[in-house]
Amino acid sequence: MNRFYLTRLLFVIPCLLLLAKEASAQSQPKVEWGVYEMLTRAYSWEDRLDQAVKDFGVNPQFVLFFRDLNPQRGFPSNQVETANAHNMTPVISLEISRWGRGKDTGCLEEVADGSFDDFFRQWAENAKTCGLPLILRFGFEMNGDWFPWGSQPETFVTAWRRTHKIFKEVGCENVKWMFSPNVLWDKRTEKKDFYNYYPGAAYVDMIGLDGYNFGDHHDKWHQWQTYEDVFERTIRASVKFNKPVYLSEIGCADDKRKPAWIRDFLSKISKDDRLEGFIYFNHFNPRKGEPNWRVDSDPETLNIFRQWVWENQASEMKSDG
């Protein structure tokens, strides 16, 4: 080979390697995402997961569902196995109550005093036997006043730590604990309505924030809000924990402004290195009088979401390559 070309080649190769390294560093990391799917019998729930993949064209990383403290239901082994078979990490939102027992169904004090120790020990043993990864949102939105386990910070911390200790004693290491408060709103403060519910760094693996844009027509206490209006103040408060932060429930009410809201949210979370990902509350229950949160509530919103998940997936594939 000509010495001139060899010299130039030896100069160009390191430059190309440097450019490739810089391009890799500048590429956006993949944003983890998931959806809520109402928990039904395992076989029909599996159909729901299959449909979710078809709707979005890409496999979500997470699937969220709810569970209560009814011992007859116990640990949802079938659903955990079904989710993992679909390459989705199950996120179990555990209500500190028993369903179907009227309005006052809270069990927080009983959990804190040890009355549910056997229940949680069985859960921990079953989760360990199952051996599959899952995330547990124990007593989510505890800083609100709409659940019977809410607005009781000292009792909540005691109940959390007691339950966490049981899982550790059993040796259940495949469960990650997500501290999942509601976002701060109105005159709520970090000190009084957020930090005092935190069980402590040794008891928490990740942070999850629940927040919604209820729009102008839900009730007199809500109005249309931007993504930043809903989440920004609480995201800033959450990073102080030095734990991975997710938006564990997010949704936007049906409205002509919804497509732009979803586009803005997806654009911002893709660039926000404070956040690891989100779970979209893809649900509509008119019987409860809630807004239509679903991303397929209109074709434009669905197309925006689909395009984002494809681009997000392509970004990760490019980064891996």
Q: Is residue 276 part of a domain?
A: yes
Domain assignment present for 210: yes
Q: What percent of the chain has pLDDT over 70?
A: 86
What's the rounded Cα separation, in Å, for the pair 62 and 227? Answer: 21
* pLDDT at residue 104 in the model: 56
Write down the pLDDT at residue 11: 41
Domain at 118, CATH number = 3.20.20.80
Q: Is residue 107 part of a domain?
A: yes
For residue 320, what pLDDT band results from cuts at 50, 70 and 90?
Answer: low
Residue 199 pLDDT greater than 90, yes or no: yes
Residue 9 falls within a domain, yes or no?
no
Q: At which residue do the structure tokens 């649900």 appear? A: 283
What does the pLDDT look like over 229-285, one tens digit per residue?
Answer: 999 999 999 999 999 999 999 999 999 999 999 999 999 999 999 999 999 999 998
Structure token pair of residue 154: 């000292």
Domain count across the chain: 1
Is the pLDDT score of 1 beyond 60?
no
Domain that holds residue 85: 29-315
**Considering the domain boundaries, does residue 211 fall inside one?**
yes
33 domain residue, yes or no: yes
The pLDDT of residue 289 is 81
Position 13 in a domain: no
Does residue 14 fall inside a structural domain? no
